[in-house]
A = this chain, B = another copy of it.
Amino acid sequence: MALAGKTRKDVLQEFRTSELLDAARHVFALRGYHAATIDQIAAHAGVAKGTVYLYFDSKRELFLAALRQGILALHAEVAHQLRAAPTPQAQLQAFINARFHYFSRHPDLFRIYYTEFPQLATPTASSEFHDLYEQQAKLLESVLADGIRSGHLRPCPVPSTARLVYDLIRSALAQHILHEAADNPNPEAAVFQFIWKGISPS
């Protein structure tokens, strides 16, 4: 299905693109945006520097594409998990757990997302990723709104609560992913508990 109507050429190009994005994420996470060089990324992907420019227009484009692709994959996984969750409680857990699991598997991605480009770390500020953030915020808001409507959650101002919950999750994620000293076995459960106290019916 993913191959529908695609020539051998298309497939090869997609493969190369994906290889480059992977290499880019790795090197950007390792060295930081400025210290990373196109040569390093190309070498890591096993191609020459010029090849990178056949697939991406500039270093910044490559960076943004690498970041965006990773975040889109995360969001797909979140959506997948959410679909299977029957109650608001389970949905919130899915929203949290999917993030922890995904970023545990892709610490590079989180490291870039959180460390590089300060303005990206505060998603409300206008940035290249505002649309992605907005979409997840809406998702969370609808989980809250549905839960309140059905009586599973205590009434609360939905947008500001969603924002708070979102920030809390990212903050805990940073703790978990960036600080290797992770003595806490399953931080996602702790985050959920904390949030749940705040929004479950007394």
User: Copies of this chain, how many?
Assistant: 2
Q: What 0/1 pattern do residues 116 to 139 of A give for CB contact below 8 A with B?
A: 011001101100000000000000
Q: What's the Cα separation between A33 and B125 when bound, in Å?
A: 21
- Judge if A83 is at the interface, Cβ distance under 8 Å: no
Residues B124 and A118 in contact, CB atoms below 8 Å apart? no
Q: What 0/1 pattern do residues 162 to 176 of A give for CB contact below 8 A with B?
A: 010001000110110
Taking the nearest CB of chain B, how far is it from the CB of A59, in angstroms?
A: 13
Of residues 168 to 189 in A, which have CB atoms within 8 Å of B's CB atoms?
171-172, 174-175, 178-181, 183
Residues A160 and B175 in contact, CB atoms below 8 Å apart? no
Taking the nearest CB of chain B, how far is it from the CB of A8, in angstroms?
A: 40
Total interface residues in chain A, CB < 8 Å: 24
**Given A115-B115, A118-B115: A124 touches B179 (CB 8 Å cut-off):** yes
Q: What's the Cα separation between A33 and B116 when bound, in Å?
A: 11
Q: What's the Cα separation between A133 and B122 when bound, in Å?
A: 26
CB-defined contacts of A172 to chain B, threshold 8 Å: 171
- Judge if A4 is at the interface, Cβ distance under 8 Å: no
Q: A160 — nearest CB in chain B belongs to which residue? A: B183
List 17 interface pairs A-B (beta carbons < 8 Å), by A numbering.
A32-B117, A33-B34, A111-B118, A115-B118, A115-B121, A118-B178, A121-B178, A122-B178, A122-B179, A122-B180, A122-B181, A124-B181, A163-B181, A167-B175, A167-B179, A171-B174, A171-B175
Question: Which 10 A-B pairs have CB atoms at the shortest separation, nearest pair first?
Answer: A34-B34, A115-B118, A171-B171, A122-B179, A124-B181, A167-B175, A171-B175, A122-B178, A160-B183, A167-B179
A: residues with CB less than 8 A from B are 32-35, 111, 115, 117-118, 121-122, 124-125, 160, 163, 167, 171-172, 174-175, 178-181, 183
